[in-house]
Amino acid sequence: MVGLTQSLGVSILKATAFVHFIISLLLRKSPIMKRLLFSLLLCFPFLTWAQTKNFQKSFGNDGEERFYSVATTTDSGFVLLGITSGFANRKKAYVVRLDSTSRLLWSKTYGSAGLDVGRSMAPTKDGGFVIVGTTTSIGAGKKDVWLLKIDHEGEVEWSHAYGGVENDYGFSVKQTLDGGYIIGGETNSFGTVGSDIYLLKTDEKGNLQWSKALGGKDAEYIYEVIETFDGFVFASETNTYGSGEWDIMLTKVDKKGELQWSQVYGGNKVEFGYDLIQTKDGGFVLVGSTYSFGVGGMDIYFLRTDKKGKLVVARTFGGGSNDQAHTVHQMPDEGFIIGGFSASYGNQLNAEDAYLIRLNKKNNLKWSKVFGGTFGDYALDMQTGLHGEILMVGETKSFNGRDDSDAYLIRTEDDSKLKTCELSRVQTQTILKSEFVTKTPELGITATDTKEATFDVESTEVLSSENVICDGNIQVIQNQTERKRQERKTKKK
């Protein structure tokens, strides 16, 4: 039986290779044949299995699209969250559901009468998803924090808005051990002068349990919050504390939101943070960008701390132009992958390209790669799958065929030798540990009089155009500008 299975597998692979060879010849000749064959390939998944492991795709319509967040599903698929203005005359939350091979299952928009933007998403224990962002459709002020719960099919279960009389924003959400949710963001309604850190805790139905504002005399806001066994830890930007214009702050509060400790990291210029994870040893890793350290412009900023936020390792990665990290994950070997974008390496016009960096468990560089085209391409979030695949999501201006941007998906693997689908590859320069300023601020913390409202959210199924930029070594569909040019040439003939 084993021999028969192996023979069958070899036969299928040979047949698949032959089919793709014939397709590659035909694709060079006719754009019409190209579209027909692409449709057929979608109908026969086994023919494209060998080609779907690594690719780049864009999703969208005639407006602006961007992915901010990606989460895994219980059936090994993925859900992508972003914004779109391509299916309405205002921005809405945009969700795309993929199966385990990253094929499109459905895409939907969510919103009401106003502006409704989703910024972060997390899986829930019941197989659904919770989305946090900002809404102007309802609430107490100009903009309010928006929390939306959907099931595994994308159907709306409930929706809440929280805030005060001014602008309030939601940037991060996680389901908590008690089944509720912790939300991190920014408030201009509560706290001291300017914007402050906004922390909200709800029950499993989104009903508010408590909310806190934390900060100083200038601006602060949360960009990522996670739960620990005895409280919550969040990473934030601070313009009040530290030694530079902006610095990165890591703060721990207990289960009721009461302050336990806080640390600030940065130099005498500007540092921005974008992601936070807890490591297997109980410490924390933060990534972002720095102007204080590095080799030129803005460089990728990697910080590793112990359980109390004490700095253990600090690194920068980058070249002579601007390089920025937006997302980080710890790998099974206890190393890390970092996603973001780079203008130091990559393609043309000094535009940014999506950037992926692999570190070993000692925080040293193993390899790095860039993905993208002629214009700006950005990775803003990342997930790893059960089979070792890496999915990065963000925004592309290279592969949309229009003047706007499209949502961007990159699928690759943890393999330094892999040459499929990356348009160019580089090794970055690793900078040794720099001297960082670390201070403990005395944060002001106040309970807020957050107003809560529920509202109906319309769920609209939309037909997202799926532009396959590359799939294996065969160019299945060219970017839309080139495709239209070829179609016009064919018509003239």
Residue 19, pLDDT score: 43
- Among 32, 51, 70, the domain boundary falls at 51
Q: Give the pTM.
A: 0.82
Element (DSSP H or E) covering residue 13: helix 2-27
Q: Is the dihedral of CA 220, 225, 229, 231 positive or negative?
A: positive
Tell me: do 324 and 227 sit in the same domain: no
Dump pLDDT digits (tens) for 153-178. 999 999 999 999 999 999 999 999 99
> How does DSSP assign 116-162, residue by residue?
EEEEEEEE-TTS-EEEEEEESSSSSSSBEEEEEEE-TT--EEEEEEE
Q: Is 407 found in the same domain as 328? A: yes
Indicate if 174 and 282 belong to the same structural domain: no
Determine contact, residues 350/321, Cβ cutoff 8 Å: yes
Neighbours of 393 (CB within 10 A): 28
Give the tens place of pLDDT for each residue, 209-256.
999 999 888 899 999 999 999 999 999 999 988 877 899 999 999 999
Q: Is residue 107 part of a domain?
A: no
In a domain, 388, yes or no: yes
Distance CA 123, CA 102 (A): 17
Together in a domain, 278 and 422: yes
Chain segment 324-377, per-residue pLDDT in tens? 999 999 999 999 999 999 888 765 566 888 989 888 898 888 888 888 888 889
The overall average pLDDT reported for the chain is: 80
491 falls in which pLDDT band (50, 70, 90)?
A: low
Domain check: are 307 and 416 in the same one? yes
Q: Which residues of 124-155 are buried (b: 16+ CB within 10 A; e: fewer)?
A: beeebbbbbbbbbbbbbbebbbbbbbbebebe
Residue 213 per-residue DSSP state:
E
pLDDT tens track for 25-50: 443 444 444 344 434 433 443 333 33
* 316 and 388 fall within a common domain: yes
Residues 246, 335, single domain; the answer is: no
Q: How many domains does the chain have?
A: 3
pLDDT at 435: 54
Domain ends where: 392, 419, 435?
435
Of 420, 435, 450, the last residue of a domain is 435
Residues 427-452 pLDDT 10s: 344 444 455 667 677 888 888 888 88
Which of 49-58, 165-174, 287-296 has the weakest average pLDDT?
49-58
Quote the pLDDT of residue 295: 77
Give the per-residue pLDDT at 94: 95
Question: How is residue 354 written in tokens?
Answer: 């999506």
Residue 241 inside a domain? The answer is yes
Q: In this structure, are 285 and 232 located in the same domain?
A: no
Residue 11, phi then psi, degrees to nearest 5: -65, -45
Supply the pLDDT for residue 403. Answer: 66
Model pLDDT, residue 12: 37
- Please say whether the dihedral angle defined by the alpha carbons of residues 272, 380, 168 and 65, taken in this order, is positive or negative: positive
Same domain, 431 and 453: no
Structural domain of residue 316, as residue ranges?
56-83+271-435
pLDDT, tens digit, 9 for 90 and up, residues 63-84: 889 999 999 998 889 999 999 9
Q: Is residue 491 assigned to a domain?
A: no
- Does 75 lie in the same domain as 168? no
Let me know if residue 177 belongs to a domain. yes
- Distance in angstroms (rounded) separating the CA atoms of residues 488 and 188: 52
CB 130 within 8 A of CB 122: yes
